Structure 1
Amino acid sequence: MKRISKISLVMLCMLEFTACEKQLELSPLGQLDDTTFYQTESDFEAASLSAYSTLINFYFDQSGSIWDEVMLYPSDEVARGQNPNDRNDFNWNANDAQFFNLWRESYKGIQRANVIIDALPKASNFEDEERKVQFEAEAKFVRAYLHFLLATNFGNAPVSMASISTLEGANKPMSDPGEIWDVVISDLKFAQENLPATWESTNTGRVTSGAATAMLGKVYLYRAQWDNNTALYADAVRELSAVVNSGQYSLVPTFSDNFDISKENNVESLFEIQFSRGDFNTWLPVDFGAAANENIGFAGTNRSVVWRPACGPTGLCAPKANGHGYGNMHVLEPLRNAFEPGDPRIQDTYYRAGDPYFDEPYNPLWSFSGATPSKYVRLSDVTEESSPPNFDLNNQRVIRYADVLLMLAEAILLGNNDVAGAAALINQVRRRADPTGTILPDHPADVSQDQMFDWLMHERRVELALEGYRYSDLVRWHRADLIDIKTDVDFGSEAANQAWNERHLLKPIPQRDLDLNEALRQNDGY
């Protein structure tokens, strides 16, 4: 993307609800408000990145990002080691700070997108009026993605379809059943129809029509199961097939290529969160600066400090780990047992005994569970000399073509009972992992639908492990009566297994918002 000037940072603040002067100290750039700024292509070029930049916030923070704490920990994949929290054991409550952070950052990004969408019709100094549609499509994709996160985590969360300028306007009620799904689908259809298929290299990372189509297919698949509406499987098949048939995407030759920092934005990646180091960051800086704002201009994940420094509960830590991180992320036995013996994807999912780890073989005693994540971090660029410290700049892959293949397999299997078609798609993913087929042989097509669905669930689990989708998969399958989480899932903890109940299909609405907004209502069971 193009270098972003200081005016972009000013716009980042203008789109915030909070006092941005605490984060930035900039020289006066003249009077900027919604009547003088939103007029030209360059104005919206800057403003459009503010919506994208919100997505960075889900992955930042040395002490634990929203994505780790809300999407990864409450599952049967990983758990905290040091400083365990109640989220692992499903002791969820409305005062949980990370649930609130997910809620807050989602609505922050939606507000930023709405400001852009509302301002576009009034902009009078565009040299190319057609670019207005492109900016609107980008903003609507971000708005749809964030509403989708709210729907799948909080249920009938409020819908926000216009910029908020008053306190009264912020006090929105819970949405009607199905309403939030409707607006997600509407926004994604607009994005699909009005985004380019590709961007020039200077705009790498901006959302494309292919990403919008894949996301739309995912939404139809999820909604089919959330609403128990099997007719929606046909819509999912249509959209996901369009991605496959476009010829624009394919599986990269090696599974590890998906998580190699030197191979970001490759042919398998439809959309990823962009991170960078330096005085320029693709999507503007993260909203959280350190003292004196030295993090402004940087954006990275917390993987190097939370995932990588393996450290056991007794203080037995990997060499060089002490002082470099927390060792919070530990891979649970149920996930490790899910892999078929010898699956080549294991080394790019978690460290095993003897695997290279810094300068020494990995020792399972460095983890309370016996394993530490290797996905992303094994092929990252973090070193002791990295600056700023504890920043992993490996992009987060949000939509991968392998995921598209597996979602399409699921949709045709459950919607059309196409067992053979599902087998062919699942086997594509397996063959990439093991081209010889000796370790991961093809699944035969002459089996029952139930057997193929079991294989589909297995393949999603091992292919997409630690990417943040496991618990969402479990919830949607439970809602569709395809599994029973209470009896079919081992969370790797007796406390978690005993505590899980139906209320955990949704997160609690944050208490601080309930206290401020009487139009909200708490989800059942909290």
Structure 2
Amino acid sequence: MNNIIKEILFNIKYVLGTFIVLFSITSCNNDLLDTKPLGVATVGDLTTGGFEADAFGLYGQLRNSGVSNWTRYWFQSIRSDDAQKGSSAGDQAQAGADFDEFGYSNDSFLNNDNWNEHYKVINACNDLIDAIDVSGLTDSGTIVNMAEARMIRGFLYFDLRRDYGEVPIIDQKVIEVTDGIKPKSSVVDVDAFIEADLIFASENLPVTWVSNFDGRATKGFADALLAKLYLYQASESNSQEKYTASLTKSEEVINSGVYTLVPSYKTLFSLEGNNSTESIFEVQQLVTESGQTFSNNYYVSQGVRGTGAWDLGWGFNVPTQTLVDAYETGDPRKNETILVSGEDDGGYGSGILPGTPPLDQLYWNKKAYTEAATRTKLSQRQNNWENIKIIRYADVLLMAAEAAFKTGNSALAADYLNEVRARARGGANVLPDITSVTLDVIKHERRIELAMEGERFYDVVRWGDGPAVLGSLGFLPKHEWYPIPQAAIDQSQGVLIQNPNY
């Protein structure tokens, strides 16, 4: 295929090149650069769906938007007690006050980006769903494309639900401006809408894809997100029925035989860890053999902020001392999550970091850090190649543990917790098995296993621990929900009503 044809395919409607393919990395002889953007494909690469190009484009929009760029961790990580703004003191100081100190703003660029970009991709999902409905096609490939659109839409609304609570449900193609102006729906109604999308996706998405379609949504993604939705509902209402539903969905993923924990926690957050057996859904990123990058600033903006060889990023989203102190003695996950200025990088090949000063932060997110050999191989210092983990198998095991405990099966909960801890200790004489399960034990394990990955704030809130855990940082009950952007309210001419107490 010549370069002109590649360019045409690459730019079909939603930039198909934004979805990547990682071929099998099963041997040390495999070339980790043997990759290509999915949109650069021959006809023979495609399945039979009549709307394949549009479906591919949705994945590209996930990456090329505020859904997964640095906006994501301001909402999902920096608001927690485990992370803070980072960078230098004056860099994005107002945003730091907004998210570190709960000075929420209804007109900040980050708030506008979070809201607008989620609805932008939701509208693209609606466009595809409408086009399929109009076409009348019912072949299996087209139904899969429909399921992909509804899966992604359900995921986007789950994000919005966690951030804003009551949000407008836009479920049709926007033709006139007024089509996109809707009042807020209750959290119950938003949840029902998400659930319907995810159930359709679960029933119609494949269990797995062939390797050249790694990264596309699967039944496992739908079931895992349903398990999480039910767990949130159960936590908020103390519903045994919802805990049971969450356990059932979690165990559908566990018993599918598709997913396993990656033996090395370190490898999980590396180039080799992309689309691993632990991956349930990831936003795809890529550096090609020729040095092209298909990525966003999610990891770039979290790299060590230094000079020369240590110019690895912008330095945002850094661990707090509170997180550092939360690890059990000897927990190997600490060394793979916390990077310390002035200390050796612990086997990543760059030796000892500069101290503070000249670096502005003592701690850095090591899950955004990279091995020196990979930087050399790709001829890039900043991380444009690690996929953004949305849900991984360890999260499902921990959801199952929590739901099992809440439905009275402590033994099953212990089994799932200990599976996660066994991988974490990697054969070392640390992290003994849990023999007595409590909710505090489950909370600790979720915090440590998923540290800096965007779950902590939402877990604390759904457990009702916001005032106790975050109160010293300025958290009040109203901060469970972020204020709706004032621009969106103004554009709706008052149809949208601001969240309470803002």
TM bucket, shorter chain: 0.7 to 0.9
Other-structure match for 2:315: 327
Q: Is the 8 A contact 1:381 1:392 kept in 2?
A: no
Cα distance in structure 2, aligned partners of 1:121 and 1:60:
26
Other-structure match for 1:456: 442
Structure 1 residues 330 and 263: CA distance shift in structure 2, 3 A: closer
Deviation at 1:395, TM superposition (A): 0.5
Q: Which of 79, 83, 86 is the aligned partner of 1:74?
A: 79
TM-score for the superposition, normalised by structure 1? 0.80
Comparing 90-99 with 361-370, which one deviates more in the overlay?
Answer: 361-370
Other-structure match for 1:266: 276
Q: Is the 8 A contact 1:412 1:421 kept in 2?
A: yes
Cα distance in structure 1, aligned partners of 2:65 and 2:320:
23
Q: Is the 8 A contact 2:168 2:183 kept in 1?
A: yes
Please list the CA deviations of residues 182-212 of structure 1 after superposition, one character each: whole Å capped at 9, or x if unmatched. 0111111110011111111111111111111
Q: Is the 8 A contact 1:220 1:233 kept in 2?
A: yes
Structure 1 residues 303 and 50: CA distance shift in structure 2, 3 A: closer
Query: Which amino acid counterpart does residue 114 of structure 1 have in structure 2?
Result: N
Please list the CA deviations of residues 201-246 of structure 1 after superposition, one character each: whole Å capped at 9, or x if unmatched. 1111111111111111111111222344332111111111111111
Cα distance in structure 1, aligned partners of 2:66 and 2:329:
32
Cα distance in structure 2, aligned partners of 1:457 and 1:227:
18
Please list the CA deviations of residues 143-197 of structure 1 after superposition, one character each: whole Å capped at 9, or x if unmatched. 0000100111100101111111111111111013411100111111110011111
Q: Is the 8 A contact 2:111 2:485 kept in 1?
A: yes
Please list the CA deviations of residues 300-350 of structure 1 after superposition, one character each: whole Å capped at 9, or x if unmatched. 24355422224xxxxxx465335x543233211000011112111112101
Cα distance in structure 2, aligned partners of 1:387 and 1:180:
45
Q: Is the 8 A contact 2:299 2:368 kept in 1?
A: no
Other-structure match for 1:427: 418
Other-structure match for 1:497: 472
Cα distance in structure 1, aligned partners of 2:302 and 2:153:
29
Q: Is the 8 A contact 1:259 1:379 kept in 2?
A: no
Structure 1 residues 498 and 386: CA distance shift in structure 2, 3 A: same
Cα distance in structure 1, aligned partners of 2:56 and 2:289:
16
Please list the CA deviations of residues 57-87 of structure 1 after superposition, one character each: whole Å capped at 9, or x if unmatched. 35799xx711122212111112123123222
Cα distance in structure 1, aligned partners of 2:201 and 2:369:
32
Other-structure match for 1:35: none
**2:136 aligned with 1:155:** no
Other-structure match for 1:351: 339
Q: Is the 8 A contact 1:380 1:393 kept in 2?
A: no
Other-structure match for 2:497: 521
Other-structure match for 2:121: 109
Deviation at 1:382, TM superposition (A): 6.2
Q: Which of 100, 104, 126 is the aligned partner of 2:112?
A: 100
Deviation at 1:402, TM superposition (A): 0.7
Structure 1 residues 442 and 388: CA distance shift in structure 2, 3 A: closer
**2:131 aligned with 1:119:** yes
Please list the CA deviations of residues 454-513 of structure 1 after superposition, one character each: whole Å capped at 9, or x if unmatched. 1111111110011111111111111xxxx3x222x1x5xxxx725210111001100100
Other-structure match for 2:463: 477
Q: Which of 405, 409, 434 is the aligned partner of 1:413?
A: 405
Please list the CA deviations of residues 397-437 of structure 1 after superposition, one character each: whole Å capped at 9, or x if unmatched. 211111100000011112x1222221111111111111446
Q: SS of the counterpart of 1:137? A: helix
Other-structure match for 2:14: 12
Q: Is the 8 A contact 1:301 1:393 kept in 2?
A: no
Pairing of 1:350-369 with structure 2 (within 5 A): 350-352=338-340, 353-356=342-345, 359-365=350-356, 368=360
Please list the CA deviations of residues 38-75 of structure 1 after superposition, one character each: whole Å capped at 9, or x if unmatched. xx9576111112222222135799xx711122212111
Q: SS of the counterpart of 2:150? A: helix
Q: Is the 8 A contact 2:67 2:114 kept in 1?
A: no
Q: Is the 8 A contact 2:106 2:484 kept in 1?
A: yes
Q: SS of the counterpart of 1:383? A: helix
Q: SS of the counterpart of 2:79? A: coil
Structure 1 residues 11 and 475: CA distance shift in structure 2, 3 A: same
Structure 1 residues 427 and 199: CA distance shift in structure 2, 3 A: same
Q: Is the 8 A contact 1:331 1:369 kept in 2?
A: no
Other-structure match for 1:188: 198
Query: Which amino acid counterpart does residue 327 of structure 2 have in structure 1?
Result: F
Query: Which amino acid counterpart does residue 307 of structure 1 have in structure 2?
Result: Q
Pairing of 1:217-232 with structure 2 (within 5 A): 217-232=227-242
Cα distance in structure 1, aligned partners of 2:307 and 2:217:
39
Cα distance in structure 1, aligned partners of 2:483 and 2:352:
42
Q: Which of 238, 243, 251 is the aligned partner of 2:253?
A: 243
**2:184 aligned with 1:208:** no
Query: Which amino acid counterpart does residue 56 of structure 1 have in structure 2?
Result: R
Cα distance in structure 1, aligned partners of 2:217 and 2:51:
15
Structure 1 residues 358 and 246: CA distance shift in structure 2, 3 A: closer
Comparing 243-252 with 362-371, which one deviates more in the overlay?
Answer: 362-371
Cα distance in structure 1, aligned partners of 2:280 and 2:243:
21
Structure 1 residues 326 and 382: CA distance shift in structure 2, 3 A: farther
Query: Which amino acid counterpart does residue 326 of structure 1 have in structure 2?
Result: W
Structure 1 residues 427 and 318: CA distance shift in structure 2, 3 A: farther
Comparing 130-139 with 352-361, which one deviates more in the overlay?
Answer: 352-361
Other-structure match for 2:301: 306
TM-score for the superposition, normalised by structure 2? 0.84
Query: Which amino acid counterpart does residue 498 of structure 2 have in structure 1?
Result: Q
RMSD: 2.8
Cα distance in structure 2, aligned partners of 1:102 and 1:428:
35
Cα distance in structure 1, aligned partners of 2:376 and 2:428:
39
Q: SS of the counterpart of 1:160? A: coil
Other-structure match for 2:152: 142
Q: Is the 8 A contact 1:188 1:216 kept in 2?
A: yes
Q: SS of the counterpart of 2:111? A: helix
Cα distance in structure 2, aligned partners of 1:122 and 1:304:
40
Query: Which amino acid counterpart does residue 75 of structure 2 have in structure 1?
Result: V
Q: SS of the counterpart of 2:64? A: helix
Query: Which amino acid counterpart does residue 393 of structure 2 have in structure 1?
Result: Y
- What 5-or-longer segments of structure 2 have no aligned partner? 17-46
Q: Is the 8 A contact 2:147 2:204 kept in 1?
A: yes
Cα distance in structure 1, aligned partners of 2:473 and 2:52:
51
Q: Is the 8 A contact 1:54 1:105 kept in 2?
A: no
Deviation at 1:383, TM superposition (A): 3.2
Query: Which amino acid counterpart does residue 178 of structure 1 have in structure 2?
Result: V
Query: Which amino acid counterpart does residue 267 of structure 2 have in structure 1?
Result: D
Other-structure match for 2:29: none
Cα distance in structure 1, aligned partners of 2:160 and 2:66:
17
Cα distance in structure 2, aligned partners of 1:215 and 1:193:
14
Other-structure match for 1:509: 484
Please list the CA deviations of residues 368-397 of structure 1 after superposition, one character each: whole Å capped at 9, or x if unmatched. 552111114234876379578745210012
Q: Aligned residues: percent identity? A: 30
Other-structure match for 1:51: 58
Q: Is the 8 A contact 1:4 1:46 kept in 2?
A: no
Cα distance in structure 2, aligned partners of 1:178 and 1:66:
26
Question: In the comparison of the two structures, how many residue pairs are matched?
Answer: 456
